[in-house]
Amino acid sequence: MVLRVLQGVFGLLLLAQASMAGAVLSIEIIGAGEHQIPVAIVPFGGDEKIAQAINEVVAGDLQRSGLFRLVDPAGKSPHEPAEVSYPDWQVRGAEALAIGTVAAQPNGRIEARFRLLDVVKQMELAGQAVSASEDQIRAIGHRIADLIYEKLTGDKGVFSTRIAYVNRQGKSFRLIVADSDGHNEQVVLAHNEPIMSPAWSPDGSHLAYVSFETGHAVVYVQSLYTNQRVALADFRGSNSAPAWSPDGQQLAVVLTRDGSSQIYLIRPDGSGLRRITFSGAIDTEPNFSPDGQYLLFTSDRGGSAQIYRMPAEGGPAERLTFGEGTNFSPRHSPDGKSFVFAHLNSGGFYVAVQDFQTGQMSLLTEGGWEKKPSFAPNGKLILFASEARGRGILATVSSDGRVKQHMFTQSGDAREPVWGPYP
Amino acid sequence: MKKLIISIVLVNLLAACASEPKKEEAAPAPAPKAEAPKQAPVAKTEVDPLNDPASILAKRSTYYPFDVAVVQDEDKPAVQAHAKYLSEHANRKVRLEGNCDERGSNEYNLGLGQRRADGVNKMLALGGARADQLESVSYGEEKPRCTDHNEACWKQNRRTDLNYAK
Domains, chain A, ordered by start: 2-21+161-419 (2.120.10.30), 31-153 (3.40.50.10070)
* Cβ density class A331-369: b for 16+ within 10 Å, e for less: bbbbeeebbbbbbbeeebbbbbbbebeeeebeebbebeb
Q: Output phi, psi for A39, to 5 deg.
A: -135, 140
Question: Which of A234-243, B21-30, B115-124 shows the lowest per-residue confidence on average (mean pLDDT)?
Answer: B21-30
Of B104, B107, B114, the CB nearest to A197: B107
Q: Which residues contact B93 (CB under 8 A, 6 or more apart)?
A: B132, B133, B134, B135, B164, B165
List CB contacts (< 8 A) between A196 and chain B.
106-107, 110, 140, 142
Cα A240 from Cα B81, distance rounded (Å): 33
* 3-state SS assignment for residue B152: helix
A313 φ, ψ (degrees, to nearest 5)? -90, 5
- Per-residue model confidence (pLDDT) at position B13: 40
Å between B147 CA and nearest CA of chain A:
10
Residues A194, B114: C-beta atoms closer than 8 Å:
no
DSSP assigned state of A223 = E
C-beta atoms of B108 and A298 within 8 A: yes
Region of A265 (left: φ > 0; alpha: ψ -120 to 50; beta: rest) is beta
Are A166 and A414 in contact by the 8 Å Cβ rule? The answer is yes
Closest Cβ opposite residue A260 in set B67, B115, B137: B115
Task: Mark yes or no for CB contact B108/A372 under 8 Å.
Answer: no
Query: B15: how many CB neighbours lie within 10 A of its CB?
Result: 10
Determine the Cα–Cα distance for residues A78 and B126; give it in Å rounded to an integer.
82
Is the Cβ–Cβ distance between A331 and A377 less than 8 Å? no
CA quadruple B158, B110, A211, A394: dihedral sign: positive
pLDDT at A288: 98
Check: CB of residue A328 under 8 Å from CB of residue B104.
Answer: yes
With a cut of 70, say whether residue B22 has pLDDT above it: no
Q: What is the DSSP letter of A311?
A: E
Helix (H, G, I), strand (E, B) or coil at A349: strand
DSSP string spanning B68-108?
--SPPGGGHHHHHHHHHHHHH-TT--EEEEEE--SSS-HHH
Which residues of chain A have a pLDDT value below 70?
1-25
ipTM of the modeled complex: 0.90
Instruction: Fill in the amino acid letter for B70.
Output: V
Query: Which pLDDT score is estimated for B46?
Result: 65
Structure confidence at residue A25 (pLDDT): 56
* Angstrom distance (rounded) from CA A417 to CA A423: 18
- Whole-angstrom Cα distance, residue A183 to residue A63? 16
Dist CA A41 CA A56 (whole Å)? 10
Q: How confident is the model at residue B4 (pLDDT cuts 50, 70, 90)?
A: very low
**In this predicted structure, what is the pLDDT of residue A3?**
37
B chain contacts of residue A372, beta-carbon cutoff 8 Å: 105-106
> Residue A326 is which amino acid?
T
User: What single string gives the DSSP state of each residue in A84-126?
Assistant: --HHHHHHTT-SEEEEEEEEE-TTS-EEEEEEEEETTTTEEEE
Q: What share of chain A is helix, strand, coil (3-state, %, to 5)?
A: 15, 45, 40
Which residues in chain A are contacts of B111 at CB distance < 8 A? 238, 254, 256, 260-261, 282, 284
C-alpha–C-alpha distance, residues A272 and A302, integer Å: 30
Which among B105, B112, B115 is the nearest to A329, CB-wise? B105
Give the span between the Cα atoms of A251 and A197, in whole angstroms. 13
At residue A199, the pLDDT reads 98
* pLDDT tens figures, B35-45: 444 444 545 55
Do A51 and A79 contact (CB within 8 A), yes or no? no
For residue A319, how many other CB atoms are within 10 A of its CB? 12
Cβ B111–A256 below 8 Å, yes or no? yes
Q: Is B10 exposed, middle or buried (0-12, 13-18, 19+ CB in 10 A)?
A: exposed
Given a cut of 70, whether residue B26 has pLDDT beyond it is no
B157 to chain A, closest Cα gap in Å: 16
- The percent of residues in chain B predicted with pLDDT above 70, rounded, is 72
Q: Write the residue in B104, B140, B142 that is nearest to A328 by C-beta.
A: B104
Residue B64 has a pLDDT of 98
* pLDDT the model gives residue A409: 76
Cβ separation A238–B142 shorter than 8 A: no
Is pLDDT above 50 for B21?
no
